[in-house]
Amino acid sequence: MLQPPGFDQSAISTSLGRLVYYQPKPAAVPDASGAMLFLHGFGGGSSAYEWSLVYPAFVPEYRVFAPDLLGWGRSEHLRRSYQIQDYLTIITELLERLCPTPAIVIASSLTAALTIRVAVARPELFKALILVAPSGLADFDQPYGNFFAQLVSTPLLNRFVYSAAIATNFGIRNFLENRQFARANRVTQEMVDAYLASAQQPDADFSAISFVRGDLCFDLAAYMPQITVPTAVLWGRESQFTPVDLGQRLVELNPRAIQKFTIVDDTGLTPHLELPAVTTGWIYHSLSLLKVR
């Protein structure tokens, strides 16, 4: 939830609640033309911080926006189960409200998969898609579910598990080092602090539990062939939750729209947080390849 120097915190009211987003101070973008929207993935403590080591690099050329999605970071937290339609609505409204012209949207993981669904329904809102490990987590009819998902499906117990096992310094660091990153020594205390601050927001457990329980999962393979927006996909080779072979299968469903697929060695689920300089360079190269720079 830390914001880089030179950025302001703003907010908009949506049909589902108040959303906080980060944008450069006005003086920083005198020549910017076109919008670039960065969308974080889901998980305990997720927020716009996930992209904070990358999006400042694009300020000289674009109007950059990095929101905390509904239920995450400093945005409003609803006291209910979250559903797929909630995030389809939020992503659509962000584009309509913040981006008066078609935008370059950069998104990761399940949020990237949800963004694909919005792009299929409303392609006129998009100039290009830059996606990191997009997955609906139930792709090719594979059932979503694990012991932890079953555990958080138990009423009352789920909130205790969240506060005791997830939203703690140990829980956050352990997940980043052993599940999210390929190399534990790349996890900094700043990263842990940012994830922990988001995870400990009042009622942050509702969105996290909905995610872990599988309420937001779907089969992305059903939507991949329908993409018409120019797209590039990046995948960390060591990603534990969404293996590279899954990415290859998804990309092969639409080689016409998906013009670039890159595997980054020695990175996990979030190469943009683990190796931000490499990811930034890849995004710039992808934008040139997609002819949107």
> Looking at the domain assignment, is residue 192 inside a domain?
yes
**What pLDDT does residue 151 have?**
47
Question: Could you tell me if 270 and 132 are in contact, meaning their C-beta atoms sit under 8 angstroms apart?
Answer: yes
Q: Return d(Cα 214, Cα 291) in angstroms, integer.
A: 37
pLDDT of residue 147: 44
Q: What is the percent of the chain with per-residue pLDDT over 70, rounded to a whole number? A: 91
Compute the mean pLDDT over every residue in the chain, rounded to the nearest whole number.
Answer: 92
Contact (Cβ atoms closer than 8 angstroms) between residue 128 and residue 198: no
231 with 255: CB under 8 angstroms? no
Supply the CATH number for residue 214's domain.
Answer: 3.40.50.1820
Indicate whether 66 belongs to any domain.
yes
Report if residue 57 sits inside a domain.
yes
Count of the separate structural domains present in the chain: 1
- Quote the pLDDT of residue 213: 87
Q: Is residue 1 part of a domain?
A: no
The model's pLDDT over 176-192, given as tens digits with 9 standing for 90+, comes to 999 999 999 999 999 99
Q: What is the dihedral of CA 263, 277, 72, 140, to 10 degrees?
A: -10
How far apart CA 263 and CA 148 sit, in angstroms, is: 29
Residue 140 domain flag: yes
Share of residues in the chain with pLDDT > 90 (%): 81
138 touches 114 (CB < 8 A): no
164 within domain boundaries: yes
How would residue 160 be classed by pLDDT, with cut points 50, 70 and 90?
low
Euclidean distance between CA atoms 134 and 281, whole angstroms: 19
> What separation in angstroms does the CA of 161 have from each of 80, 133, 134, 153?
17, 27, 27, 11
Assigned domain for 99 exists: yes
DSSP 8-class letter at 69: P
Q: Cα angle vertex 81, ends 78, 84, to 5°?
A: 100
Task: Identify the domain containing residue 232 by its residue range.
Answer: 7-289
Report residue 68's pLDDT band, with 50, 70 and 90 as the boundaries: very high
- pTM for the structure as a whole: 0.95
| Least confident segment among 55-59, 164-168, 232-236 | 164-168
**Please, which pLDDT band fits residue 28 given cuts at 50, 70 and 90?**
low
Q: Is residue 2 part of a domain?
A: no
